[in-house]
């Protein structure tokens, strides 16, 4: 199965947010699922950070590295 994660789903998964349903979390964690993320997600996250709607506890580049290469993606 292939799934396309939007910005909220991507952030909720990476940050362990309870707003992500258990069904969605299970699909993302399933090794058989191909996870796709639009490049627009990175752009939206960067915009949210720049306007103060979102704050990271680490540099943006480190966050993306951890989120994309050290998680189930």
The whole-model pTM stands at 0.81
Do residues 5 and 35 make contact, with C-beta atoms less than 8 angstroms apart?
yes
Sign of CA dihedral 28, 41, 73, 1: positive
pLDDT > 70 fraction of the chain, expressed in percent and rounded: 95
Q: How much is the pLDDT for 10? A: 92
Q: What is the pLDDT of residues 2-18, one digit of tens each?
A: 999 999 999 999 889 99
Q: How much is the pLDDT for 20? A: 97
pLDDT at 72 over 70: no
Q: How much is the pLDDT for 2? A: 96
> Domain segments of the chain: what residues?
2-69
Tokens 């349903």 found at: 21
């Amino acid at each position: 199965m292939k799934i396309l994660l939007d910005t909220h789903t991507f952030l909720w998964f990476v940050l362990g947010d309870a707003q992500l349903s258990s069904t969605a979390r299970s699909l993302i964690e399933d090794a058989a699922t191909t996870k796709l993320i639009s490049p627009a997600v990175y752009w939206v996250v960067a915009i949210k950070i720049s306007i103060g709607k979102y704050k990271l506890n680490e540099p943006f580049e480190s966050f993306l590295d951890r989120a994309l290469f050290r998680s189930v993606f």
